[in-house]
Amino acid sequence: MTFTRRSLLGASALLAGLALSSASAFADGKKVVVGYQTDAVPSSVAIANGDFAKTTGYDIDFRRFNSGAEIFAAIASGDVQVGYVGSSPFAAATSRGLDVKAFYLASTSGTDEALIARNGSGIETPADLRGKRLAAAPVSTDHYQLLSVLKQEGIAEKDAQVFAIPQQDIVAGWNRGDIDAAFVWDPALTEIKKTGKVLLTAKQVANRGAPTFSVWVATNAFAKDNPKFLAQFASVINKYTTSYLNDKAAWGPDSDNAKALAKLLGGTPQDQAAALANPVFVTLNEQASDAWLGGGDKGGVAQILKATSAFLKDQKKITSVLPSYGAFVTTDAVEAAQQVTN
């Protein structure tokens, strides 16, 4: 990275301002509840080592959830203010009137989510899903992509048994032989791959016409009152993601980072190190562009939300689609984080 005197002074001033606001936050006793999931992402190390709290100065209560749908239920009840969610539950929640904003694009469709066919199930291609017992977490990106695959193959949902159940129940059903194929993420993905094979990855399903993403969202009220917190939070995510992208050796199976992820998320350090290679991470510059968080109604995130909502309505998972979804996306946090890193 190249620094000019102007950029270095500007970054120093911004960092000083953020540091002062952190001290003020501690003094004010500011608190926030943040929902996270078991996806293997570098920034989860900052949950484990307290870096999010140290950088922001907030008292952060991190709570682990099994799906984005659960996080949105907690947001709707007022128990959670910030959460890590997928595009399908995000689309469903906003279509139902939940007032939230995506402020950081965590990842896009990669190989961290996949449709796995159980060995001996007779499933060799997506066309073989007809009449089979299939599973995905309810209203998750995996559920959306599973239904999308069925539609792409001309298979009506009634022509297969689709179980919308939590991931832990999917693993239990899989081990009993009750499920023929499942669309899952880690740690379930690593577990069922032991006795199954990848039929399609999330990236492949996206290329077939059903793109997805994972984002950090905040309630609109919290985002309005705590812009510096979101900027600091985004800068921490970016710091750990950049570390991973620039120094893979520091995230290997024997690394402290992999051990921290395993302790927080489950599995082994070897599992977590391998899983880190699966998501597709997006730079701050790309995030702020019209391809993703930028562009308002015409931006990539807003367009995917609308297309996903239309699909969910067609599948009778939601009752209506909004005219636009640009109001649920903001570039403020990533643009502020850019000033620190550029």
Percentage of residues in the chain having pLDDT higher than 70 = 91
pLDDT of 224 higher than 90: yes
The verdict on 95 and 222 lying in the same domain is yes
Please say whether the beta carbons of 36 and 63 come within 8 A. yes
Task: Give the predicted TM-score (pTM) of the model.
Answer: 0.83
Q: Are residues 152 and 296 in the same domain?
A: no
Domain count, the chain: 2
341: confidence class by pLDDT, cuts 50, 70, 90: low
User: Residue range 311-340: average pLDDT?
Assistant: 93
pLDDT band at 315 (very low <50, low <70, confident <90, very high): confident
pLDDT of residue 150: 97
Has residue 11 got a pLDDT over 70?
no
Q: Are residues 333 and 243 in the same domain?
A: yes
Q: How far apart (Å, rounded) are the C-alpha atoms in residues 130 and 248?
A: 41
Mean pLDDT for the stretch of residues 278-284 = 93
Asked if residue 259 and residue 312 are part of one domain, the reply reads yes
Q: Which two tokens stand for residue 338?
A: 């850019």
Cα–Cα separations (whole angstroms), residue 288 to 49, 76, 107, 301, 307: 28, 27, 14, 11, 20
Same domain, 197 and 181: yes
Query: For 227-246, how does the pLDDT look when each residue is reduced to its tens digit (9 = 90+)?
Result: 999 999 999 999 999 999 99
Residue-level pLDDT at 178: 97
Rounded average pLDDT over 90-106: 97
The number of angstroms, rounded, from the C-alpha of 225 to the middle of its chain's C-alpha atoms is 24
pLDDT of 29: 59
Question: Is residue 20 scored above 80 in pLDDT?
Answer: no
In this prediction, residue 83 carries a pLDDT of 98
Q: Which residues contact 60 (CB under 8 A, 6 or more apart)?
A: 31, 32, 33, 34, 52, 53
- pLDDT given at position 339: 83
Residues 139, 197 within the same domain = yes
Of the residues 207, 227, 255, the one at which a domain ends: 207
Q: What is the CA radius of gyration of the chain?
A: 20
Whether 334 and 221 share a structural domain = yes
Q: How many Å apart are CA 233 and CA 158, to the nearest integer?
A: 43
Q: Which residue's structure tokens are 């998972």?
A: 317
* 224 and 316 together in one domain: yes
Higher pLDDT, 26 or 112: 112
Average pLDDT estimate for 29-48: 94
CATH code, 77: 3.40.190.10
**For residues 340 and 116, which has the higher predicted lDDT (pLDDT)?**
116
Task: For residues 253 and 269, give the distance between their C-alpha atoms in angstroms, rounded to a whole number.
Answer: 5
Provide the domain limits for residue 247: 5-109+212-341
Phi first, then psi, for residue 22 (nearest 5°) are -65, -45
With 50 as the cut, is the pLDDT of residue 45 above it?
yes
| Helical H segments across 177-290, by residue range | 188-192, 202-207, 220-225, 227-246, 256-265, 269-275, 284-288
Percent of the chain scored above 90 by pLDDT? Answer: 86
pLDDT (tens digit per residue) in 134-184: 999 998 999 999 999 999 999 998 999 999 999 999 999 999 999 999 999
> Does pLDDT of 13 surpass 60?
no
Q: Count Cα atoms within 13 angstroms, Cβ side, for 56.
A: 28
146 close to 162: Cβ distance less than 8 angstroms: yes
